[in-house]
């Protein structure tokens, strides 16, 4: 009877260790997958930031008032504008800028500070100016809903709009 109890204990111990190992493996694979997905989105965000910078430059050189960017990604990220008199990500320091980054998850009233940190760490920003305040908007490429960006130069101020 005693040998059966020892056998059962060793088998249960092996099962517990196996379950813990499988749990760690699943966690590792999920972290690896999401890390890769985030890096791809960051590359897309950098590309969009470059398009915005080139668009404003193109507008200035050719005296245009509007410029449209139709190939917009990454899906689900947000376009933020940081103008004069606002707190800004470190990248922007004292200059106006446009940032493409994820919307920060706010828990206890730390919204603005958390968003600035998110844009600094995992976002793409481009310095433009002078920037007119605009409403932040989400990049959306779902069926029936498509986000394009319109850059506008009105009265000497640059503006980014959802088209």
pLDDT tens digits along 55-65: 888 888 888 88
The CA distance from 160 to 163, in Å, is: 9
Predicted confidence (pLDDT) at residue 12 exceeds the cutoff of 60: yes
pLDDT in tens, 68-90: 887 777 888 888 888 877 788 88
Handedness of CA 70, 71, 74, 79 (dihedral sign): negative
- Give domain limits for the chain: 42-162
pTM of the model: 0.69
Alpha helices in the chain (DSSP H): 2-62, 111-122
pLDDT in tens, 103-127: 877 666 666 788 888 888 888 888 8
């Amino acid at each position: 009877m005693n040998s059966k109890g020892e056998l059962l204990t060793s088998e249960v111990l092996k099962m517990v260790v196996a379950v813990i190992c499988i749990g760690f493996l699943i966690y590792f694979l999920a972290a690896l997958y999401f890390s890769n997905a985030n890096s791809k989105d960051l590359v897309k965000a950098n590309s969009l930031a470059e398009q915005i910078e080139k668009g404003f430059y193109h507008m200035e050189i050719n005296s245009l008032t509007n410029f449209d960017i139709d190939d917009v990604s990454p899906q689900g990220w947000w376009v933020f504008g940081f103008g004069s008199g606002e707190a800004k990500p470190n990248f922007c320091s004292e200059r106006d800028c446009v940032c493409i980054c994820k919307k920060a998850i706010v828990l206890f009233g730390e919204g603005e500070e958390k968003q600035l940190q998110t844009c600094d760490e995992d976002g793409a920003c481009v310095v433009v100016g002078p920037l007119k305040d605009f409403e932040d908007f989400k990049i959306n490429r779902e069926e029936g809903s498509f986000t394009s960006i319109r850059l506008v130069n009105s009265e000497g101020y640059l503006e980014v709009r959802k088209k």
